[in-house]
Amino acid sequence: MSEIHGDGGPIPIIPDNLTIPQFILDVHHPARPVLKTPQPWCVDELSGREVGSDELRARTFGLANALKLRWNIGEDDVVCIFGPNHIDYPVAIWAVHRLGAIVSGANPAYTAEELEYQLGATKARVLISHAGSLPVALAAAQKAGIPNDRVVLFDGVPGANNVTLDTLVEEGLALPQAFVERRLAPGEGKKKLAFLSFSSGTTGRPKVKLSLTCRNAAHGAKSADIMAHYMGVKNQNRPKEIQRYLPGSKILALLPFYHIYGLVVVMHFHLFVGTTLVVVQKFNFEQMLNSIQRYRITHLCLVPPMIVLLCKHPAVKKYDLSSVRMLMSGAAPLSSELTNQLESFLPDCWIGQAYGMTETCTAVTFPPNDRRLGSLGSGGVLLPGCIARVVKPDGSLAGIGERGELIITGPSMALGYLNNKEATDETFLDGWVRTGDEVYFNERKEIFVVDRIKELIKVRGFQVPPAELEGHLLDHPDIGDVCVVGIPDEYSGELPLAFVVPSVSALTQLKEGREEGGVKDAIMKHVADHKVNYKHLVAVEFIEAIPKNPSGKLLRRFLRDRAKELQNTGKLVLPVRAKAKL
């Protein structure tokens, strides 16, 4: 089989001399629908506060002006945003971009050590934090050399002296404009950085990623516009029953904006097509159901763990979810069984999956737009402008139904990894991205993701590098050797399990009566005390020796197979607490 090309071209001409806020706030692209009735752009889920386009534009200017006046933030400076979703999160992003600076979003569950690493790696000059994350933010900022007065809060905290975003907005609006916003040169949008997105690597610390999410014009225009073009959102003359994005549409913005899925698909794409964002700060399942009913949510972008709850939680029956017109799953494969269960209680909803990575500026596939349901288990069809190769182990291209590694290219591929030529050369090949995923395509050009060739463990859509956990675990006195593998879990996709060879001292203590369960609990606590929650171990299994090849490389596949065998025989039962929350 030759290369597979996405249907639906040609792609509309996209300006490559605009920043993201210029594209989203200041101009009208021909592919963008015109809303005849004004509607809010963002709504705060809990308070119901609405923000329209004029207020967003004014707040963005005010914050940009204050950042320039106070700290002279400008070209290629980095501002880190640390916290959950907030109604002012888009304002913070676009204000930084107005100044030609760069945004780096951080996971609000990070420890101070993990946040300090991100601040240092990006050389961030200002940290914008959620109020609930302030203690971690202050500790990390101090270690990274960022003064306390450069830690800005989305909302005020009693007793805290840190300036709030509202104060900066008011200050910036009250003073004369201190910055000159420039128009990029033709073609500069393909290179101008907008985001430094972090992605976990297979060899330990997360990699700083320069992806096309990091290209101003490419992120703001290409990613959103290609999806909008494919979905035909501007053509409102079609019968309403086949239109997925009608005027007045609302999406529940659950997915975190620091993550590529939430940043590109939820925030920028849906604002581009005129959908109101109901911004959710913290995921709570019953609150989600209540908000769908309260706001008459029409669109949901979810990950499989959320869909497991939708299909199995008894509270679902208490709420009216009939407003939902489209539900899209991403970040990990969604099983045929779960898709069938979704369809059974959302019979009129368009249901499908998308596939993408940070390296590809999120989605390179989208649910088919000519069917309410795609083929069960498929990850969607290629978006216009994307080209796929499925490469077999011998280097030849696979045929229809044949498996191989997905290598992909398109208008929104990554530039590479920051200051990591070796990793860049391994993943990025002349505009093509090696995904590390084993896939196949059917006759309808639908993709099916079979397995990951790379060693990353994917927990609820987050990448967990085994080597990072192994390095941390080897510092524990009870561990002589260790190998971490992912084990399948219906709720989380995968969970990290540690196969541990006890140290000599631990073996001696075990022989002298120390309880095996106590040793395992101490090992799991060692990870839980220092790592973000999705990196926590689900279990520890003792083993006599870690299988390795002659060169010393860990043979993970053998231990993955052993873990599955333990699960299948009932010798490994996952604790309920591993499924208790996202």
DSSP 88-123: THHHHHHHHHHTT-EEEEE-TT--HHHHHHHHHHHT
Say yes or no: 446 and 347 in one domain. Answer: yes
Please give the C-alpha separations between residue 522 and each of 135, 391, 467, in angstroms, as whole numbers: 26, 44, 20
Three-class DSSP category at 404: strand
The per-residue pLDDT for 420 is 81
Say yes or no: 276 and 228 in one domain. Answer: yes
**C-beta separation of 39 from 276 below 8 A:** yes
The per-residue pLDDT for 579 is 44
Q: How far is the C-alpha of 229 from the C-alpha of 271, rounded, in Å?
A: 14
The CA R_g of the chain, rounded to the nearest whole Å, is 24
Say yes or no: 139 and 224 in one domain. Answer: no
**E strand segments, 162-298:** 197-199, 207-210, 250-253, 276-279
The per-residue pLDDT for 472 is 87
> Could you tell me the CATH number of the domain that includes residue 147?
3.40.50.980
- In one-letter notation, the amino acid at residue 39 is Q
The per-residue pLDDT for 481 is 87
Say yes or no: 361 and 414 in one domain. Answer: yes
Three-class DSSP category at 398: coil
Per-residue tokens: 388: 């796929």
Say yes or no: 231 and 176 in one domain. Answer: no
Per-residue tokens: 567: 């699960």
Say yes or no: 469 and 448 in one domain. Answer: no
516 secondary structure, DSSP code: H
Say yes or no: 254 and 364 in one domain. Answer: yes
188 secondary structure, DSSP code: G
Say yes or no: 349 and 206 in one domain. Answer: no
Say yes or no: 162 and 109 in one domain. Answer: yes
**DSSP bridge partners of 365:** 382
179 φ/ψ sector (left φ>0, alpha ψ -120 to 50, else beta): beta
Q: How far is the C-alpha of 344 from the C-alpha of 328, rounded, in Å?
A: 16
Q: How far is the C-alpha of 297 from the C-alpha of 292, rounded, in Å?
A: 5
* C-beta contacts of 116-124 below 8 A and 24+ residues apart: 116/140, 116/143, 116/144, 117/205, 117/206, 118/80, 118/198, 118/206, 119/80, 119/144, 119/146, 120/144, 121/208, 121/418, 122/78, 122/80, 122/196, 122/208, 123/78, 124/78, 124/79, 124/80
Residue finishing a domain among 193, 210, 227: 210
Tokens 């990554």 locate to 414
Name the strand (E) or helix (H) holding 265.
none
Residue finishing a domain among 182, 210, 238: 210
Name the strand (E) or helix (H) holding 423.
helix 421-427
Say yes or no: 486 and 381 in one domain. Answer: no
Q: Which of 505, 566, 577, 507 is nearest to 537 (CA)?
A: 577
Say yes or no: 426 and 367 in one domain. Answer: yes
Three-class DSSP category at 27: coil
**C-beta separation of 97 from 194 below 8 A:** yes
Tokens 């003359």 locate to 237
Say yes or no: 361 and 481 in one domain. Answer: no
- How much of the chain is in helix, strand and coil states, percent to nearest 5? 35, 20, 40
Q: How far is the C-alpha of 223 from the C-alpha of 493, rounded, in Å?
A: 26
Q: How far is the C-alpha of 155 from the C-alpha of 163, rounded, in Å?
A: 9
Three-class DSSP category at 152: strand
The per-residue pLDDT for 233 is 62
**Which residues of the chain are under the pLDDT cut of 50?**
200-204, 210-221, 577-582
Q: Which of 389, 371, 376, 462 is nearest to 430 (CA)?
A: 389
**C-beta separation of 80 from 124 below 8 A:** yes
35 secondary structure, DSSP code: P
Tokens 């530039």 locate to 415
- In one-letter notation, the amino acid at residue 397 is L
Q: How far is the C-alpha of 276 from the C-alpha of 266, rounded, in Å?
A: 10
Q: How far is the C-alpha of 64 from the C-alpha of 43, rounded, in Å?
A: 22
Buried b / exposed e over 212-247, threshold 16 CB at 10 Å, is: bbbbbbbbbbbbbbbbbbbbbbbeeeeeeeebbbee
Domains: count for the chain: 3
The per-residue pLDDT for 83 is 94
Q: How far is the C-alpha of 191 from the C-alpha of 339, rounded, in Å?
A: 39
Residue finishing a domain among 432, 452, 472: 452
Q: What residues contact residue 242 under an 8 Å CB cut-off, 6+ apart?
A: none
The per-residue pLDDT for 239 is 63
Q: How far is the C-alpha of 217 from the C-alpha of 322, rounded, in Å?
A: 37
Gap between the terminal Cα atoms of the chain: 40
Domain with 519, as residue range(s), is: 457-579
The per-residue pLDDT for 144 is 97
> Could you tell me the CATH number of the domain that includes residue 488?
3.30.300.30
